[in-house]
Amino acid sequence: MSSEIIQVLKEDGTVSPLFKKETDLTEQDLKKIYETMILTRVYEERSLKLQRSGRIGFYIGCKGQEASHIGSAYALKMDDWVFPAYREPGVLFLRGIALKTMICQMMGNAGDPTMGRQMPCHYSYKEGNNGSVSSPLATQIPHAVGIAYAAKYMKHKIVSLTYFGEGSTSEGDFHTGLNFAAVFKSPVVFICQNNQWAISVPVARQTVSESIAIKAKAYGMPGIKVDGNDVLAMYQVTKDAVERARNGDGPTLIESFTYRLGSHSSSDDAARYRPEGELESWEQKDPIIRFEKYLLSENILTPESIKKIKDDAEEEFTQAVKEAEKVGLPPLETLFTGVYKDMPESLREQMEDLINEQKRLGASEDNSMAFPL
Ligand SMILES: Cc1ncc(C[n+]2csc(CCOP(=O)(O)OP(=O)(O)O)c2C)c(N)n1
């Protein structure tokens, strides 16, 4: 079961007749998924340029993994919860976050919901039931399990879904989360985006199991390996797992077999450790190109409508950056707010002292937002 790889959309852009007959995805759904994938790709390419030109300090992306996270997140309802790693900006777009808010987060300015308290790309979107990105790997797994267990306890029919990389399966939190979820039949879906690399460490140095999916067997839950560059398979497999969870049948582990086409982050250069030819062979499997072939062959999109979707995404990004760059830095007092509902007197005194000190010395004139990395 766990080593067979599920695929619906073949690399030539054709799909199995059975999927076509049985899928509940409408043309409108397919367009929405495609538009979100394009916005996510444009977001990546343009954000890297912002980083290289010193307008944001750091970027961590998902090029090549758009089908994996957008296809799967499309299977959720809006009141379900997502606990992300850091390679899932498309989930936030699907859940309705404003592009400007994402850019403000990367700039750490006053438009950032976390007021610059997080690293760039460590998004948080409470209104969209999207938990905050955490820097320490795999900590989101117990968070997702906890909320799923709480929902079950309170008889709320929601499902919680969490993303993590294959490197994160070497963390204790992976074991703790999967074991607890299986024992207490919590409504959670685990998606391991196996993109082959944990920074410069290849998957062969994480595990000698024949797959990530097979690990599910020992926890007593289904484990499914799926072609992560196949957006339709990602949707279908996740939908089945979400339904299973919602019906009270417990968790599922999904291994999305994919590849990181970019470097680990803007601070990394993957050319230093990738074997020759590996990137080129995966570029042939680009999930956006594959989906485009399907949409064109089905006349759901035309070359003209594809161009318009891409141009609109570029324009949307340009406008959002313009607006985000007008937003100032978070006010000094936000260093003290956001912890207590009613601020304790001792903290208030410290805040006032600091504000007075700022008045006495003047505010920093370094407005570059340069990130100290
Ligand atoms: C507990 C912990 N250990 C180490 C790191 C440093 N680190 C950041 S990302 C990363 C690689 C993670 O690989 P993986 O889980 O496969 O996810 P990917 O980046 O490939 O999506 C490492 C080791 C960290 N953030 N947290």
DSSP string covering 47-70? HHHHHHTTSSS-----TT-HIIII
Query: What residues have CB less than 8 Å from 362, skipping those under 6 apart?
Result: none
Q: By percentage, how much of the chain surpasses pLDDT 90?
A: 90
Q: Which of these, 143, 140, 129, 200, lies nearest to 169 by C-alpha position? A: 140
| Cα-to-centroid distance, 186 and ligand 1 (Å) | 26
- pLDDT value of residue 373: 39
- pLDDT value of residue 344: 97
Q: Whose CA is closest to atom 12 on ligand 1?
A: 198
3-state secondary structure of 202: strand
- Does pLDDT of 88 surpass 90? yes
Across residues 286-294, what is the average pLDDT? 98
- Does pLDDT of 2 surpass 90? no
Handedness of CA 292, 294, 297, 301 (dihedral sign): negative
Across residues 175-184, what is the average pLDDT? 98
Is residue 205 flagged as an active site residue? no
**Structure-block tokens of residue 250:** 């417990």
Is residue 273 flagged as an active site residue? yes
- Strand arrangement of the beta sheet that strand 5-6 belongs to: 5-6, 223-227, 252-257, 188-194, 160-165, 81-83
N- to C-terminal Cα separation, the chain: 44
CATH homologous superfamily for the domain 5-326: Thiamin diphosphate (ThDP)-binding fold, Pyr/PP domains (3.40.50.970)
Across residues 289-295, what is the average pLDDT? 98
- pLDDT value of residue 367: 59
- List helix spans (H) across the chain: 17-22, 27-52, 66, 72-73, 89-94, 99-107, 140-153, 172-183, 215-219, 231-246, 278-283, 287-297, 303-326, 345-361
What b-and-e string marks burial along 43-71, b requiring 16 or more CB atoms within 10 Å of the CB? bbebbbebbeeebbbbbbbbbbbbbbbbb
**Structure-block tokens of residue 152:** 């079950």
Q: How confident is the model at residue 368 (pLDDT cuts 50, 70, 90)?
A: low
- pLDDT value of residue 17: 87
Is any atom of ligand 1 closer than 6 Å to the C-beta of 165?
yes
Is any atom of ligand 1 closer than 6 Å to the C-beta of 53?
no
Across residues 283-307, what is the average pLDDT? 97
* pLDDT tens profile 208-222: 999 999 999 999 999
- pLDDT value of residue 364: 67
- pLDDT value of residue 51: 96
- Does pLDDT of 53 surpass 80? yes
Residue 221 backbone class (left: φ over 0; alpha: ψ -120 to 50; beta: rest):
beta
pTM for the whole structure: 0.95
Using the atom order of ligand 1, give the atom closest to the CA of residue 171. Answer: 1
Using the atom order of ligand 1, give the atom closest to the CA of residue 166. Answer: 16
Is residue 156 flagged as an active site residue? no
Domain extent listing, the chain: 5-326, 331-373
- pLDDT value of residue 370: 55
Report whether 88 contacts 62 (CB < 8 A): yes
| Cα-to-centroid distance, 135 and ligand 1 (Å) | 8
* pLDDT tens profile 119-172: 999 999 999 999 999 999 999 999 999 999 999 999 999 999 999 999 999 999
- Does pLDDT of 372 surpass 50? no
